[in-house]
Homo-oligomer: A and B are copies of this chain.
């Protein structure tokens, strides 16, 4: 480093970058601002973010300037897979070629100095329910004495629409929601702050390429529509949800906030993470048939107040993102750039692989003990939840997804 100017020398931004999970094999996109300036597109390399528009300008790539000089990823995402691949290849060249040294050095910022914004303008938000372990756990907890899975579960990826307008970026505080709950089935409902505030650790997929109304997207083409991957925390007020959800599903128990990571990892970065999904217990209808490796080998980690409470395994998911997308459009519904669909809670077969506190504490029967001696069933005000994930990269390294973190604030 030239200490006088603080400028980096060629390639120095790559030193140690791979070890952070944000090396050249990752290159996630985000929207950031520095010093109160206008939000703009950036790509992450190590602990730095590269301001993309001025670099594209200096490199003379006007089409990319038009895509990068924006405050959301949507215009870039709408361009489709070839444009995404071209941009990724150019960014890699910029970061590694001596001829771009001065430009790159001039437009790198430390991530800690950047204010990260919601990276996409969310169109529709759909949340699935695709972990068999999670669905079986919730069935056993909430509908004891009945089959853990509803009869449809092995035949289709069950999902529902959530509230797109309350998707927030990591770091945004989550205010404990108030609402109706019915502590006793023999008494009227009461109103007040949720007493059973929970998380759902999920992986989200962001749609880039839109589709036409009336034209279902086949499984084989589904991932051509997916720009990238994020981590999602689908906050859930279990008491509000339990009272409201019949017969039309979750509503206010979910709609107060859904957090997503600031960094959108291009799907192309996960080529080495493709795995075969778990074997089918029931044959699937043709439109859901997916030969090949539809799963993704992501290792998630859930921390409560700095202490790891769970390590959910995404490779355990029964329904894959391509199946979810094909199902979501099979009735003719169209996709829009910015649609976000999330996996549903990622839970593995082991107790310490569960992605929600209703499972981890078995509906408050088995409280968790934290290192400070305190116990938890559901979340308390002031609690901080952090979800991270890594995946195998192409060069025997690990690549990281951006974290999704938030602190619980009390009901006003």
Contact = CB atoms under 8 A, between A and B. Distances in A.
Interface of A: 123-124, 129, 150-152, 155-156, 158-166, 168, 175, 177-180, 182, 185, 188-191, 213-214, 216, 237, 240, 243-253, 255-257, 282-283, 285-287, 327-328, 330-336, 339, 412
21 contacts: A123-B165, A150-B246, A151-B182, A152-B182, A152-B246, A155-B180, A158-B251, A160-B248, A161-B162, A175-B214, A177-B331, A178-B216, A188-B282, A189-B285, A213-B257, A247-B249, A249-B250, A252-B328, A252-B330, A253-B331, A256-B332
B244 A152 contact: yes
Nearest to A210: B165
Contact of A245 (B177, B189, B249, B335): B249
A128 to B, nearest CB: 9
Contact of A166 (B182, B286, B333): B333
Given A160-B250, A178-B332, A252-B328, 12 more contacts: A151-B182, A151-B185, A152-B189, A158-B251, A159-B248, A160-B249, A177-B331, A178-B330, A180-B285, A237-B331, A249-B249, A256-B333
Contacts of A330: 178-179, 252
A252 B180 contact: no
A180 B164 contact: no
